[in-house]
Amino acid sequence: MSLDQIAAAFDRQDYNLATRLLKEFLRESPQNPWGHLYKARLYEASENFEGATTIYEQLLKKVTHPKIVSHARQGLQRIKTKTQVLKQQAIEQAKSAPENNEPGLLILEAIPPDTRTQAAKDFARIFNLDVYTARLHLPNRGWKMYRLGAIGELNFYQQQLKAVNIPAFCTTELALKAIPVFEVLYFLDYAPKAVVVCHNETGQLGSLTFDWSEINQRIEGQLPIFERVVDGSVRKGVERQRKEKTLDYVQVCDLHLPKRRCILRMCDWRYHFDQGIEFGAMGDATIELDQSINRLHWNSLLNFLTEQLDEKPLWSDFAVFGETAIDFPILLDRIPAHIEAYESASWASAFHLYSSLAFSRDSV
Report the chain's mean pLDDT, rounded to a whole number.
88
Q: Return the bridge partners of 210, or none.
A: 194
Cβ distance 42 to 19 under 8 Å? yes
Per residue in 225-259, pLDDT (tens digit) is 887 655 655 565 555 555 677 888 899 999 999 99
User: Distance between terminal CA atoms of the chain?
Assistant: 57
The pLDDT > 70 percentage for the chain reads 91
Q: What is the predicted pLDDT for the residue at 305?
A: 96
**What Å distances lie between residue 82 and 18, 78, 89, CA to CA?**
22, 6, 11
Per residue in 20-34, pLDDT (tens digit) is 898 888 888 888 999
What is the residue extent of each domain of the chain?
3-93, 98-176, 179-363
For residue 34, which of 45, 21, 46, 47 has the smallest C-alpha distance? 21
**CB atoms < 10 A from the CB of 274, how many?**
10
Of 1.10.1200.10, 1.25.40.10, 3.40.50.10540, 1.10.3720.10, the CATH number of 3-93 is 1.25.40.10
Gap between the Cα atoms of 224 and 250, Å rounded: 6
Residue 132 has pLDDT above 90, yes or no: yes
91-105, 174-188, 307-321: range with lowest mean pLDDT: 91-105
Omega prior to 192 cis, within 30 of 0? yes
**CB atoms < 10 A from the CB of 61, how many?**
8
Q: What is the predicted pLDDT for the residue at 170?
A: 95
For residue 317, which of 185, 141, 85, 169 has the smallest C-alpha distance? 141
The answer regarding whether domain 98-176 maps to CATH 3.30.1390 reads: yes
Residue 287 has pLDDT above 50, yes or no: no
Gap between the Cα atoms of 195 and 188, Å rounded: 5
Q: What is the predicted pLDDT for the residue at 240?
A: 55
Cβ distance 244 to 228 under 8 Å? yes
**What Å distances lie between residue 332 and 182, 228, 324, 337, CA to CA?**
20, 22, 11, 9
The pLDDT > 90 percentage for the chain reads 63
The radius of gyration computed from the CA coordinates of the chain, to the nearest angstrom, equals: 29
Gap between the Cα atoms of 95 and 189, Å rounded: 49
Q: What is the mean pLDDT of residues 176-191?
A: 95
Q: How confident is the model at residue 216 (pLDDT cuts 50, 70, 90)?
A: very high
Higher local confidence (pLDDT), 253 or 47: 253
Residue 2 has pLDDT above 50, yes or no: yes
